[in-house]
Every structure is written in C-alpha cells, then in structure tokens.
Amino acid sequence: MNCGAKWGTVVRLFKGEHHYSLDEKGRIVLPPKFRRALGNAVVVTRGLDECVSVYAPAEWARNEKKLRSQSVSRRDFVRFMLASAEDAEIDGQGRLTLPAHLRQYAKIDREAVVIGVGARLEIWSLENWQKYIARVQSQASELASGLEDLSL
C-alpha cells in the first residue's frame, strides 16, 4: 500500500484516479487503500483548482500551522483555505460526506473523481477533471520540458 500516512519514518503517498458517484446525501466512497491510510477522520477544504482537498488530520495540522504563521498580506489566501475547512468522518462503509458549500465550490453534482496527489486527496467533478486533463494533455510536452531528472 502506498498511501499518505506515516508508518515509521516512511511517508506513504496517495496516488491513483478513481471514479465514483455521490449518493443523494452528498456522500462519496473513498478507495479502500486511501481509507486504510486515512483512518476514520479527515479534514476537507477548498482545493486550488475548483476541487475539494482531503487531508489526514496530522497533514492538515502541519499545513494549518504554516497558514497561521503567514503575514497579514497573505490573509486572503489564509482565509480562502481556513474558512472552508471542516473536520469530517469516514463512515463504516467508507463514505465521506462532502459539505454542501464544498460540493458547490467544486461543481460536484453526481459524478466525481477521487485522485491521490501525494500527501492529500482531491475530489473533482467528473466534468472539471476531464477539462483539466484535456488542458494538461495538450500542454504535456511543454510541461515536461523542465523535468530532465525524471525517467518518463
């Protein structure tokens, strides 16, 4: 398992793309490998690209500490992240209820994509994810030009 939790000194990173549907109560199933790493509690907040970011509590605590230490000139960004952050529980069926304000922000209605992005998860509307992937794919050569050290 390669997920975003710390076991000993090894940091496990979330990775992968998983498609799910929200139920009528705004709940989404999280992939089993992600649930095992997260446990029963997470923090959800706005992501930077019209998605919902999901953090393990310890990872969120590190980010929140950094956010709180920012100067007053960065208050807009701090407010953007902290005002939407909420503690959330993963139920016994592995479902996470997405708060209505975050579903609205990310334009998630029914079909969604859960992706692993290193130390966090992101939940996207299927439509936004498809647009994002198409845009990045059209720029792939340009984006990869500065990545000489990767063996891709």
Q: Using one digit for the tens of pLDDT, what is the confidence trace for 32-67?
A: 989 888 989 999 999 999 999 999 999 989 888 888
Contact, 39 vs 33, CB < 8 A? no
Average pLDDT over residues 21-34: 95
Which helix (H) or strand (E) segment holds residue 106: the answer is: helix 100-106
CA torsion sign, 85 to 87 to 92 to 97? Answer: negative
For the record, the structure tokens of 42 come out as 């997470």
150 pLDDT tier (thresholds 50, 70, 90): low
List, in order, residues 6 or more apart from 152 with CB less than 8 Å away: 144
CATH of 13-142, one of 1.20.58.710, 3.30.9.10, 3.40.1550.20, 3.30.420.270: 3.40.1550.20
As a whole number, mean pLDDT of residues 59-88 equals: 85
Q: Which residues of 72-83 are buried (b: 16+ CB within 10 A; e: fewer)?
A: eeeeeebeebee
pLDDT at 8 over 80: no
Taking only the tens place, the pLDDT of each residue in 101-149 is: 999 999 999 999 999 998 999 999 999 999 999 998 888 777 777 666 6
Do residues 5 and 56 touch, judged by C-beta distance below 8 A? yes
Residue type, 95: R
pTM above 0.75, yes or no: yes
Closest CA to 123 of 42, 12, 10, 61: 42
